[in-house]
Amino acid sequence: MRAVWKGAVTFGLVNVPVKLYSATEDHDVSLHQVHDADGGRIRYQRICEIDGQVVEYKNIDKAYDDGERTVVITDEDLKALPAERSREIEVVEFVPTDQIDPIMFDRSYYLEPDSASSKAYVLLRETLESTDRTAIVRMALRQKTRLAALRVHGKVLMVQTLLWSDEVRKAAFPALDEPVKVSEKELGLSKQLVESLVADFEPDQYVDEYQQELRTLIAAKLEQGDALDTAATFGEQEEDEGGEVIDLMEALRRSIETKRGGSDAAPKKSSSGSSGSSDSAGSGGSGGSGAKKAKGTKSTTAKSTTSKSSSTKSGTKTATAKSTKSEKPKARKAAS
Boundaries of every domain in the chain: 5-26+80-164, 184-317
Residue-wise pLDDT tens for the chain (336 aa)?
899 999 999 988 889 999 999 999 989 999 999 999 999 999 999 999 999 999 998 899 999 999 899 999 988 888 787 766 678 899 999 999 999 999 999 999 999 999 888 999 999 999 999 998 999 999 988 778 899 999 999 999 999 999 999 999 999 999 999 999 999 998 998 998 898 888 999 999 999 998 988 898 888 888 888 777 877 777 766 666 555 656 777 888 888 888 777 655 444 444 344 344 444 444 444 444 445 554 444 443 334 433 333 333 344 333 333 343 444 444 444 333
Q: Taking Cα atoms as reference points, which of 322, 266, 273 lies closest to residue 297?
A: 266
**Read out DSSP for 192-251?**
HHHHHT-----GGGEE-HHHHHHHHHHHHHHHHGGG--HHHHH---PPP--PPP--HHHH
Q: CA 226, CA 291: separation in Å to the nearest integer?
A: 28
CA angle 114/119/123 to nearest 5° reads 110
Q: What is the CATH number of domain 5-26+80-164?
A: 2.40.290.10
The two beta strands, 5-11 and 88-96, are parallel
